[in-house]
Amino acid sequence: MTTPVTICDDSSFARKQLARALPENWDVEVTFAVNGVEGIEAVRENLAEVMFLDLTMPEMDGYEVLEAIKEEQLNSVVIVISGDIQPEARARVMALGAIDFVKKPIDSELMLEILNNFGLVSETLEGSNQSLMDASVAEVSLLQVYQEISNVAMGQAADLLAQHLDAFVVLPVPSVGVIEATELQMMLQSVGDSVHTSAVFQGFIGNGIAGEALLIFDQANFEDIARLLKFEGELNRNVEIELMMDIASILIGAFLKTYFKILDVQFSQSHPKLLARNHIRDLTRPKEIPWTKTLSIEINYGVEDHHLNCDLLILFAEDSIETMDSRVTYYAS
């Protein structure tokens, strides 16, 4: 009997990777869901006897899907496959009824091992599953590949920060796109206009790829940050700068390390610098932005039950885009 399977992930690249990782001779009918709303509808329509579920999605995330399945007592065996690898994330999804939690990306060998462990590959076909193969060859844009790479790198950075703070880091869907210099100027202008904003700046370069990272703190509660970092001394501006540098070192360093590892690129970073509001405004001047366009990755990190929110902005130089495109084309094919 054919097994109805749903792959629920907002990334078309991740959906393609997952479809390719499924056993070719597994007798399945695959449905794709691009967010949690579509995912839970697939379960209700009996299209998800087995579901592979992402956590970080728009409209309805993976946690909410699991909660709905549990509350409505729906029948679906759920395996979470996520870039968010925090131990607390795993504990939460297992408590909500998932049978396993696997970090992205998953390969075919691990997929088969998991399916066998839970006795899910009960029906096989003679030869390959053509419908599954057809589903896995859907076209994927390079921006979608960048988004998925960013998702994995974001999760690695969050896991390191969560360990450092002994807290749960709340993750968004990363925003990835090629933007014009004028858009970047407006973005930085809005940051520089805020009286409560500080930012840490760090450049990076490697194998024809160069850019800048900005970690932007807006209305940061440094007393709360100090408690998270277990600092017990007296707060002053120098201490606040040190706390920001500590967090920036973790988030920027871990993100870039994972991102460039996936691209198989050796890279180096400059020393981080604190940018005051007037320095941020200076960056909005046309002569300070040497690119007509940039590949931009924006991620908002938050810490649950604490007043710590910061935006990580990764900007790749215009002449780096072609080099990166050539490297990620392999993943999109």
- pLDDT over 80 (residue 332): no
Q: Taking residues 217-226, what's their average pLDDT?
A: 84
From 244, 201, 200, select the one nearest 222 (Cα to Cα).
244
Residue 236: DSSP 8-state: -
Lowest mean pLDDT among 46-50, 149-153, 271-275, 314-318: 271-275
Which pLDDT score is estimated for 203? 93
Residue reference for tokens 């202008």: 189
Which pair of tokens denotes residue 156? 């690695």
Q: Exposure pattern of 111-148 as b/e (b: 16+ CB <10 Å)? A: beebbeeeebbeeeeeeebeebeebbeeebebebbbbb
Predicted local distance difference test score (pLDDT) of residue 136: 52
Cβ–Cβ < 8 Å for 5, 29: yes
Does this model's pTM top 0.85? My answer is yes
User: At residue 185, does pLDDT exceed 90?
Assistant: no
Average pLDDT score over the chain = 88
Domains and CATH numbers, the chain: 3-136 (3.40.50.2300), 142-332 (3.40.1550.10)
pLDDT tens-digit profile of 70-104? 999 999 999 999 999 999 999 999 999 999 999 99
CA–CA separation, 192 vs 211, rounded Å?
20
Angle, alpha carbons 92-158-93 (nearest 5°): 15
pLDDT of the residue at 281: 55
Residue 45 scores a pLDDT above 60 = yes
